[in-house]
A and B are shown apart, each in its own frame.
Chain A
Amino acid sequence: MIDSTYILLIPLLPFLSFLLIGLLGRTYFPKQCSIIGTLSLFASFVISLVVAYQYFFQIGQVNGIYQKITAFKMVWLQFSPNISIDMGILLDPISVMMLLVVTFISFMIHVYSMGYMHGDPRISVFYSFLSLFTFSMLGLVISTNIFQIYIFWELVGISSFLLIGYYYEKPSAVAASKKAFIVTRFADLGFLVGILILSFQSETLDFQTLIERLTTDTEYLNSATTASFFGFSALTWGLTLVFAGGAGKSAMLPFHIWLPDAMEGPTPVSALIHAATMVVAGVYLVARLFPVFSISAPEALNIVAYVGAFSSLFAAIIACTQTDIKRVLAYSTMSQIGFMMFALGVSGYGGEEGLGYTASMFHLFTHAMFKALLFLCAGAVIHYVHSNEMNDMGGLRKLMPVTHITFLIACLAITGIPPFSGFFSKEEILLAAYHSNKLIFAMGILTAALTAFYMFRLYFTIFWSKPFKSHQAETAHHGEAPGTMLLPLIILAFFAAITGLIRFGKYVSSDGAALISELHVDFSIAPVLIALLGIGIAYYLYKKENDTPQKLATGLSGFYKAAYGKFYIDELYLFITKGIVFNLVGRPIAWFDKNIVDGGINLSASTVGYISETIKKFQSGKVQDYAIYFFAATIGFVLLFIYLWS
């Protein structure tokens, strides 16, 4: 057992910097905010490194199996002797890995933002939001309790909302932030119901107890699997609903519509939240509950697999047609998260069977590196060109040599060309799918080919294609991005290139025991060749500016238009909400409210008004009228007493 108090500093340092910058920064030290935020993140990152070293090499293993260690636990709300909401720190391979990833990427983004957001008048607000996000995300990954994860889940959602809407003068950014919040909130409803079902069945909120009770043969498991609703057991329903929450955060079908719009936020935010960390929270959640999914509810795991595979293919097709570079990257993120999801979906529990789990976490790790890098490169390009549109770019390789090389490395990594990191994780995923489900494997291969195509379409269009035309005169003082932006690019490129060589299975596996996965050279030939084919097609079409892509698009007009319009999912949702829900539910209820409810109140008010209007004439102000009333009443009472008393 390690002395755990200092682990608390990892989430608390960003939180303190959030408070400091958010409360005082704007007034007292607007210039130093970025430095404070970055330093606190750096400290967090160093502590995470120490924790990771201690966990993986010193105390984590007992008899070759990585343990789950509750390093800190505090009862926050006690409902009953069994059920309480705790705040705590759970250390296990995936949470330690996520601590590293989140602090590292967040640190890189903080450094990068110093250059990217330079001169922005609201930079202190930006840095306080970034710190808030980092705190929430760190709190999420170390949760010991399913309710703690829910609390931080919502905190992550709100900080994402704040950061997407950072440019609040832009109506599109405001709309995008609202959309992201509402869509994910809608999905979180499923998560909450799922939590309630799971905790009702297992009578606990604690992760470890919950997993233990729902995987071993106990009365809890029996009642959870026998209670049936619409043909599925309560456990399957609970897990599927929890997965729905995860799908909302991770932009899986059908909750993906917010992610492309979320690109309205500043680019570093897209890199941090909508590529590397927050959007993988759904994957992390499924991985956290993986034993329950795998052992007790294979149907729910199947849903995860198919949703993941389908989202992945779906997003890859759309990504081929988009022209906004950040949107292309957003769809590619969705596609890669689909990869992680279906890797979990096809995985089994324990031993060789658990390859998919390891592969998924591995891909999460490498994806965080290369996708953050891609976004940061895109940010550098946008910083230079002042446009998100592909068509405004081209021929930038001479003008931005560092960005060019790092972007190329990231593209090779995401495409899965050896020896870059994406190759190793993607091959493992495909291998796991191959052994378990051939249909999903086929979808995965197709997606991998499309990934190669659209990534290199992006690469060739930005850096080759036609020569760069606009603002030539300005280039003298507006060359490559500043050093604070280039440094994270270089560091991330380094890690994107080499992290694949880590023997990931040794540290992270479904049951904690080391999983030694050999590189299957004969298996990986085919996917690499397919990826190379995708690159070749992109090279042929986009290396030089020509009209072949245009012809191709015209040739496939119907399908191309559908993909360009993102398969009209947004329009479908708009139709359902505006056309059906508003008209059939909203308007009748509004009518009822306006006419029946308000009408009832108005009726009573006007009745009272009418009556008082009538009787106020009795108060005439004339003394003699009052005297008449008085005598009349007296006579009335007298008559009353005389005739009715006895």
Chain B
Amino acid sequence: MNEIGLEHLLIVSTCLFFIGIYGFLTRRNMITMLMSVELILNSVNINFIAFNKYLFPDKLDGVFFTVFIITIAAAEAAVAIAIIINLYRHYKSIDVNDAEKMRF
């Protein structure tokens, strides 16, 4: 049994990233789309941690970035949910296709 290397972690994060993208593009429910965005962010977090651990073990930059991203993700979730609630009040629905008035 080989030790888990950098490639394994990158494969996991890439999978996670594209799952997030897929979810974001195909789900019509705005909450689910928000969750997909969280998946994308977390895949980036895994990347930061993996590169930090395998390439620069004596530094903490990657960990710092991860902590920042988690913080911002929390803030972003708050804003997004506020928007979603407002849209829900307006349309009585959280289907993203109902909110398509902002166009030509």
- SS class, residues of chain A in contact with chain B: helix
CB distance from B90 to the nearest CB of A (A): 14
Q: Mark B15-42, 1 if CB is under 8 A from A, else 0.
A: 0000001001110000001000000000
Q: How many A-B residue pairs have CB under 8 A?
A: 26
Residue A623 interfacial (CB < 8 Å): yes
Residue B55 interfacial (CB < 8 Å): no
CB distance from A606 to the nearest CB of B (A): 19
Q: Chain B residues with Cβ under 8 A from A622's Cβ?
A: 96-97, 100
Query: Are B25 and A616 closer than 8 Å at their CB atoms?
Result: no
Residue B102 interfacial (CB < 8 Å): yes
Q: In the complex, A82→B24 CA distance in Å?
A: 85
Q: Which A residue's beta carbon lies closest to that of B96?
A: A623
Query: Are B25 and A628 closer than 8 Å at their CB atoms?
Result: yes
Q: Among the listed A616, A621, A627, A631, which residue makes an inter-chain contact with B100, where contact means beta carbons less than 8 Å apart? A: A621
Query: Are B103 and A621 closer than 8 Å at their CB atoms?
Result: yes
CB distance from A382 to the nearest CB of B (A): 72
Q: Chain A residues with Cβ under 8 A from B103's Cβ?
A: 619-621
Residue A624 interfacial (CB < 8 Å): yes
Interface residues of A in 590-621 (CB under 8 A from B): 616, 619-621
Interface residues of A in 77-99 (CB under 8 A from B): none
Q: In the complex, A232→B33 CA distance in Å?
A: 93
Q: Which B residue's beta carbon lies closest to that of A612?
A: B104
Q: In the complex, A627→B33 CA distance in Å?
A: 11
CB distance from B36 to the nearest CB of A (A): 10
Contact A616/B96 with A624-B24, A624-B25, A627-B24 known, Cβ cut-off 8 Å: no
Interface residues of A in 610-646 (CB under 8 A from B): 616, 619-624, 627-628, 631
Q: Chain B residues with Cβ under 8 A from A620's Cβ?
A: 100, 103
Interface residues of B in 19-69 (CB under 8 A from A): 21, 24-26, 33
Query: Are A621 and B24 closer than 8 Å at their CB atoms?
Result: no
CB distance from B87 to the nearest CB of A (A): 11
CB distance from B26 to the nearest CB of A (A): 8
Q: In the complex, A259→B52 CA distance in Å?
A: 104
Residue B101 interfacial (CB < 8 Å): yes
Q: In the complex, A623→B102 CA distance in Å?
A: 10
Interface residues of B in 56-104 (CB under 8 A from A): 96-97, 99-104
Contact A621/B96 with A627-B25, A628-B25, A631-B21 known, Cβ cut-off 8 Å: no
* Complex A-B: 26 CB contacts under 8 Å: A616-B104, A619-B103, A619-B104, A620-B100, A620-B103, A621-B99, A621-B100, A621-B101, A621-B102, A621-B103, A622-B96, A622-B97, A622-B100, A623-B33, A623-B96, A623-B99, A624-B24, A624-B25, A624-B26, A624-B33, A624-B96, A627-B24, A627-B25, A628-B25, A631-B21, A631-B25
Q: Which 3 A-B pairs have the closest CB atoms?
A: A621-B103, A621-B100, A616-B104
